[in-house]
Structure 1
Amino acid sequence: MQATATTTPATDAARGVIVHPSGPDDVAVYRLYDKDGDLLYVGMSKDPIHRWADEHRHRYWWPEVASYEWAWHGSRAEARRVERELLSTGLAKYNVHSTPKHGPNQHRQREAS
């Protein structure tokens, strides 16, 4: 069973609910939104807060993040499947890999590795 954290867009700072994993192999798929609720980025991590601490220093678009949500999945394979499903829509503004924006060559290269 997956646990989910959700929030509505905030104007001053990113806000959300922290839900901890239920098992040692759980991996979160997270979504970052702007103040209008538009999807900015989709990612996965065993520790989203730690990941974001790094990303906020390296992503020029980080100041646009106003809210987030994440859902825990029981394995990395399941999280990857969900992440790819979300990315395949092409709605995440700043994702490139595993999206229609990147093209078919990238998918073939990733499958080979």
Structure 2
Amino acid sequence: MKVDDFSAYNREEVLKNYKELRYVKDNKSYFLYLIFTAGACVYVGETCNIFWRVIKHKSKCAQDSVIYLQEYSDKERVLKLEKHYIRILKPMFNNRYCSKNQLELFLT
């Protein structure tokens, strides 16, 4: 999977397009998201509620940030893809998963 396969949004577009998730507690969809600022990946994450997750990531999303999203129905697949992209892109805000002693996270 390539970043080109993801939908690209800015922060305001995510909040507008997914505002219906504000009051959803048990969403059956899972989102893999990558936040890019100035052309570099700064964070990779997964969530079942992208609206609230982007609200919480205000400090990681600058005005010029691009958020790449992909929606899935299988949480296990999203978790594996999240680990894969963290390992490949080495985002600065995911540094706890990129450290030398955390490589066991990527064996699955």
TM-score (norm 1): 0.63
- 1:71 is matched by which residue type in structure 2? Q
Given the superposition, is the C-alpha separation of residues 65 and 30 from structure 1 closer, same or farther in structure 2, using an over 3 Å criterion? farther
Q: Match of 2:79? A: 80
Distance 1:39 1:64 in 2: 15
SS across alignment from 1:80 = helix
- 1:55 is matched by which residue type in structure 2? H
Moved over 3 A (4+): 13-20, 61-65
Q: Could you list the runs of 5+ residues in structure 2 that have no partner in the other structure?
A: 21-26
- 1:103 is matched by which residue type in structure 2? K
Q: Match of 2:95? A: 96
TM-score (norm 2): 0.65
Distance 1:38 1:44 in 2: 18
Q: Could you list the runs of 5+ residues in structure 1 that have no partner in the other structure?
A: 8-12
Q: Return the match for 2:34 from 18, 31, 34.
A: 31
The answer to whether the 8 A contact 1:31-1:70 is kept is yes
Distance 2:55 2:91 in 1: 20
The structure that is helix-richer by fraction is 2
1:89 Cα offset (Å): 1.3
Distance 1:79 1:54 in 2: 20
1:43 aligns with 2:45: yes
SS across alignment from 1:87 = helix
